[in-house]
Amino acid sequence: METLREPQDDVGDAEAFFEHLIAPVSLSDFFHMYWDRRPCVFRGPDGVADAILSLGTFDKVVSSSNLKYPFFRLFKSGEALPTCDMTTECQLAVDREINIADLNVVYSAVAAGYTLELQQVERTVSSVRSACDAVQRYLCLPVHAYAYFTAGAEPGFAPHFDTHHVFVRQISGRKRWRVWEPSRRFPLAQDYAPDGDTVKAAISESAPILETTLQAGEGLFVPRGFVHEVLPDEEHSLHISLSVTPLCWIDLLRAQFRRAILDSQDDPAYRKRLMRPLREREYDAPSAEFSSLAEKLLGVYSVSEAKATLNRLQRDTLPSARRPRLAEIDTRRKRSASG
């Protein structure tokens, strides 16, 4: 399928685009006051939303891109429409079938108040891919795009928190946002519990710290962990969320100790038992050997080793380059054959 394109699909320099994304907030103020700290509304210059997506392009993607589950979902008041009710089987080969969207069901559901979510929109829209790539190059963190359209007055999702940072941009219409303090500070992926007691407690025991209505072209930053609720405002709404997955100290620790384990697993010293059998009713006291091996294991975590691990971790977690490369591969093959 040919990627759908908008005229404004070149976001240019990564830092310049990021500055426009968070305008009128400066880069310094954003990272010192808001990044991983608190939400922020952006009512900056016009044009950012148009450079990312339009309602017309979104409509084309829905109608002509053979939406496949789970890259699209339908929600209403926190409940998802079952997959079997919104997809139809498509025969690709004798032994292969996929589930694609039944567009009649999708449009009927949207008309009935469901919110349509498209995931990883950067895969199909070049201007969204350019925006994701620019933010990704600037932050050196993985970035993906999710788009949400609603035509009714029903909320799509229940109040929840995300384990990634979210840069919201209202594309068309308007939508109300309510944001509460985090139910858990700096949550990791395994902490995600959208219907958990901590979320319910956060919204029942305190007032929102931010309530705002985003008009077309305006933006919002919601750090991970902050409970939020998104409400339609009596007209259609299309917004896009650029999700940024942060690298945390625990990720660095895991990577570093994973490497230490791999480096040490063939060392006979680390293959010895750590303590006597329980039936002997005593444990080995900490010994010089224990201290030496522990120090050796922990010693791999030097500053220089940590920096090298962080560089590898950033490289490994970023998505592959999202640019056309088949022609380049063919050119290199021909050069190699002729040389």
Dist. CA 103–CA 116, nearest whole Å:
12
Spatial distance between the Cα atoms of 238 and 336, rounded to a whole number of angstroms? 48
Amino acid in the structure at residue 315: R
Q: Residue 112: CB partners within 8 Å, gap ≥ 6? A: 76, 152
Residues 6+ apart with CB under 8 A from 62: 101, 103, 106, 116, 118
Beta bridge partners of 167: 221, 242
Distance, in Å, from the CA atom of 297 to the CA atom of 109, rounded to the nearest integer, reads 57
Containing 237, the helix (H) or strand (E) segment is strand 226-244
**How far is it, in rounded angstroms, from Cα 174 to Cα 235?**
7
- pLDDT at position 50: 85
Q: What residues contact residue 109 under an 8 Å CB cut-off, 6+ apart?
A: 74, 76, 81, 86, 116
- Cα–Cα distance between 9 and 272 in angstroms, integer? 59
3-class DSSP state of 281: coil
Domains defined along the chain, listed by start: 14-244 (2.60.120.650), 249-317 (no CATH)
Contacting residues for 290 by C-beta, under 8 A, at least 6 apart: 274, 284
- Cα–Cα nearest to 199, from 153, 152, 158, 240: 158
Instruction: For tokens 């970023």, name the residue.
Output: 318
Q: What pLDDT does residue 327 have? A: 77
Task: Find the helix or strand (DSSP H, E) in which 202 lies.
Answer: helix 197-205
User: Which residues does residue 160 pair with via DSSP β-bridges, in sequence order?
Assistant: 228
Q: What is the pLDDT along the chain (339 residues), one digit of tens a residue?
A: 333 333 344 445 889 999 999 999 999 999 999 999 999 999 977 778 888 999 999 999 998 878 888 889 999 988 888 888 888 877 666 666 678 888 889 999 999 899 999 999 999 999 999 999 999 989 989 999 999 999 877 888 888 899 999 999 999 999 999 999 987 888 888 777 666 677 777 777 889 999 999 999 999 999 999 999 999 877 889 999 999 999 888 888 788 778 777 777 787 877 776 655 545 444 445 566 666 766 666 665 566 777 777 788 777 777 765 666 677 777 777 788 776
Amino acid 152 reads: G
Q: Return the amino acid letter for 288.
A: A
Torsion of Cα atoms, 277 then 279 then 280 then 281, to 10°: 110
What's residue 98's pLDDT? 75
Q: Give the whole-angstrom CA distance, residue 264 versus residue 138.
A: 36
pTM: 0.81
Q: How far apart are CA 167 and CA 40, in angstroms?
A: 10
Q: Look at residue 310 in the predicted model and tell me its pLDDT.
A: 77
- CA-based angle 87:5:135, to the nearest 5? 95
Give the angle 240-61-53 at the CA atoms, nearest 5°. Answer: 35
DSSP string, 247-263: --HHHHHHHHHHHHHHH
The sign of the torsion formed by the CA atoms of 227, 37, 316, 65 equals positive
Give residue 91's pLDDT: 64
